[in-house]
A and B are shown apart, each in its own frame.
Chain A
Amino acid sequence: MSREWLRRLAAPVLVLLVSVAAGAQPPAAPVSEDTVHEVATQLRCVVCQSLSVADSPSEMASQMRGIIRARLAAGERPAEVIQYFVDRYGEWILLAPRRRGFNLLVWLFPLVAVATGLVLVATIVRRWTRRRRDGVAAPVNVDPAMSERIRREMERGT
């Protein structure tokens, strides 16, 4: 590659780098659709059953996505946008309940249920095995005269 080539390449590369750097600055940055989507997936579509604002094709959800976009563009952080919706609709608007207070039950109950199940299975299995062991140990208590007779009859049989 000649020097002439390098010189010709340098200008567009420089322009590209400068524009990327300018684009990275927060005030000039357009709102990324990924951020809008990320906020929208956490919010319940108010006119649907169990659909997020990101997934619903309804007009209400599309307007809500527009509001999310506008608030992010105005410089709000995603958490602030979510809080704006919570202030108006209550925590109902959140698809996943916040991990505090009564809501913790939702997060803890499955763990408690699994733990209880494991303890239950362990207890039952231990009880079964203990009974089996008792069963094997039983012949020890057989009358010596009787075991002697069994032994003799077995020898006679062979």
Chain B
Amino acid sequence: MSRLWRWLIPLATVPVLALLAYGFRANPRDTPSPLAGRPAPRFALATLDGAPLALEAHRGKVVVVNFWASWCYPACYEEAPVLERSWRAYRGRGVVVVGVDIQDKPEAAQKFVRDFGLTFPNAQDPTGTVSVDYGVYGVPETFFVDRQGRIRVKHVGAVTDDVFRETVDRLLAEAAKP
């Protein structure tokens, strides 16, 4: 028995160490969103200009829902020009970009929109209901919604031109098929 135990006891610590190594190295923010593939939660907000903004109004289009805040520096400041560029390039092809400003002051949000010359609709989520409906952890987070109104991709961090183009092109190509 003693020879077996001399090996077994150190060996028993291996799975425990492996579990701890995995657990401590994993980023707690990298948990997959349970919303992927599920219908995008509906919302009806008012844009910073006071116009109504409802997800329902854009059914049948590829919708890019971007959560941002004026205090989210630098990531939101990096992606704002990307979103504006992409929106201008794709708006004629059945793509809508929608900005949802969270945990922010209206004046700061309006200044952000003005500074970047954003022309796509941006609305504030004053109660946080839309953020929680989408399972938002922080900003920026971007949800790509297909023409059937399902969330297909959740992107955490600043959106780049490549990410926008690849994801939206894929959803547009897929929707074109019968």
User: Bound complex: CA of A73 vs CA of B129, how far in Å?
Assistant: 15
Question: Which residues of chain A are within 8 angstroms of B33 by Cβ–Cβ distance?
Answer: 90
Q: Which residue of B lies closest to A47 (CB)?
A: B138
Given the contacts A88-B35, A90-B34, A66 and B128 also touching, CB distance less than 8 Å: yes
A46 to B35, CA, bound (A): 16
User: Digit string of A70-91 for contact with B (CB within 8 Å is 1, else 0)?
Assistant: 1000000000000001111110
Secondary structure at the A interface, as helix, strand, loop or mixed, is: helix
CA of A67 to CA of B34, assembled, Å? 20
Q: Which residues of chain B are within 8 angstroms of A66 by Cβ–Cβ distance?
A: 127-128
Evaluate contact between B138 and A88: CB separation under 8 angstroms.
Answer: no
Do A59 and B103 touch across chains, with their CB atoms under 8 A apart? yes
- Per-residue CB contact flags for chain B residues 98-135 toward chain A (1 = under 8 Å, else 0) read 00000100000000000000000000000111011111
CB distance from A106 to the nearest CB of B (A): 10
B132 engages A88 (CB within 8 Å): yes
Q: Are A87 and B132 in contact (CB under 8 A)?
A: no
Any A CB within 8 A of the CB of B92: no
Whether, in the assembled complex, A115 has its beta carbon less than 8 Å from a beta carbon of chain B, the answer is: no
Chain B facing A: main interface SS: loop
Which of B31, B103, B127, B136 lies in contact with A90, CB distance below 8 A?
Answer: B31
Identify 13 residue pairs between A and B in the complex whose beta-carbon atoms are under 8 Å apart, listed by A's number. Answer: A46-B136, A59-B103, A60-B128, A60-B131, A63-B103, A63-B128, A66-B127, A66-B128, A67-B127, A70-B129, A86-B34, A88-B35, A89-B137
Complex Cα gap A76–B95 (Å): 36
Contact assessment for A88 and B34 in the assembled complex, using a CB-CB cutoff below 8 Å:
yes
Known pairs A59-B103, A60-B103; A88 contacts B128 (CB<8 A): no
Q: In the complex, are the beta carbons of A89 and B127 less than 8 A apart?
A: no
Known: A63-B131, A64-B128, A88-B35. A46 touches B138 (CB 8 A): yes
Among candidates B32, B34, B132, residue contacting A63 with C-beta atoms closer than 8 Å: B132
A112-137 to B contact mask, C-beta < 8 Å, 1/0: 00000000000000000000000000
Q: Is A92 an interface residue (CB 8 A)?
A: yes
Looking across the interface, which residue of chain A has its beta carbon closest to that of B30?
Answer: A92
Nearest to B104 among chain A residues (CB) is A59
| A46 / chain B contacts, CB cutoff of 8 Å | 136-138
Given known pairs A46-B137, A46-B138, A59-B103, the reply for A64 and B31 (CB within 8 Å) is: no
B32 touches A90 (CB 8 A): yes
